[in-house]
Amino acid sequence: MIKAAVIGATGYVGGELARLLLYHDGVTLTTLMSRSGEGKPYRERFRNFWHTGLTLTETNFDRAAEENDVIFVAAPHGVASANITGDILKKTRVIDMGADFRLSNADIYEKWYNTRHEGRKTLPEAVYGLTELWRGRIAAARLVANPGCYTTAAITALWPLFKERLALPGSVIVDAISGVSGSGRDVRETNLFCEVNESLKAYGVGIHRHTPEIEEGLSRALGADVAVTFTPHLAPVSRGILATCYVSLAEPAGADELWRLYSEYYGAERFIRLLPPGNSPQTRWVRGSNYLDIGVFADERTGRAVIVAALDNMVKGAAGQAVQNMNVMFGLPEDAGIGQLAVYP
């Protein structure tokens, strides 16, 4: 059995990780750590754990490394880079849910996150954890940088076009909508019910921190720099990401041709569902699951491809993909513990 710890267990992502790991047949969830709530029953923070008897302990990276085979770090940016050292990685494997190891260039990280990167020595070892695209490297990794929810949708949606050099690198527009849980569990005015309900807004226009992560992922596919216009929106729902991605094509292509391309890339994937031509994804069909649904469209009048992706930001966009990465790292079936269908209605 794999012994697992969750650091940052009282946030939404930490709670989702604990939920998935608790009933994973190959895992013993030994440790739930938090800066707040030390010694308190976990059920006081998450009533869905009422029957479990789990207890929170103080955050201690060294102790977590000594006692566990894998640590999930579900903490704010800056925490992982300050605490994940070479000595920690000699003792355990780490999956960081935050942004600290997602970007290969620490200077770019510091610019976008306005935070000093304390893990420059460790950064080169990090493997980007978009499972379907980097599973070979993930399998051997000691440190995996779990992708952001917006970036999982956008990079997966556009990867085949850039890998095949069918997309023009300066033409990418990603319009994405997220549920409120993507903003975390902290109390803030902008997330209050009366502020969010019956409203839809764009935020972080031109400055959202997932922008360089999307650009780096697509640049890896193309082998050259890719610039992205990324605009996130907040919707009055708890969960879900819907990303509509527009890109100009280097040569004309119809919907059937694009669909065949995507089928070659994703047709055999366990958690990517390529919808039949003409069908568009909806967040309700992925809610609570680790699935990512993709719809492929050709706007032949403008010479653009329009790729639509839907996922649950808490599962495939965070905790579910982290468990998927853990399964790959430890040689378990990739869908172990995360094979559930969406919750409906």
Question: Are 80 and 129 spatial neighbours (Cβ–Cβ below 8 Å)?
Answer: no
Phi/psi for 311 (5° steps) reads -150, 165
Burial class (CB in 10 A: 0-12, 13-18, 19+), 326: buried
Question: Which of the residues 2, 149, 154, 166 is marked catalytic?
Answer: 149
Q: Which residues neighbour 194 within 8 Å (Cβ) at sequence distance 6 or greater?
A: none
Whether residue 149 lies in the annotated active site: yes
* Percentage helix, strand, coil for the chain under 3-state DSSP, each rounded to 5: 35, 20, 45
- Rounded Cα distance, 135 and 150, in Å: 19
- Rounded Cα distance, 174 and 131, in Å: 21
Q: How is 157-223 classified by DSSP, letter by letter? A: HHHHHHHTT-B-TT-EEEEEEE-GGGG-SS--GGGSHHHHTT--EE-STTT-TTHHHHHHHHHHHHT
- Rounded Cα distance, 307 and 305, in Å: 6
Which tokens go with 227? 């610039």
Q: Which residues neighbour 232 within 8 Å (Cβ) at sequence distance 6 or greater?
A: 150, 176, 177, 178, 202, 203, 204, 208, 210
Question: Are 157 and 309 spatial neighbours (Cβ–Cβ below 8 Å)?
Answer: yes
Residue that has been written with the tokens 């697992």 in this structure: 4
| Positions marked active-site | 149
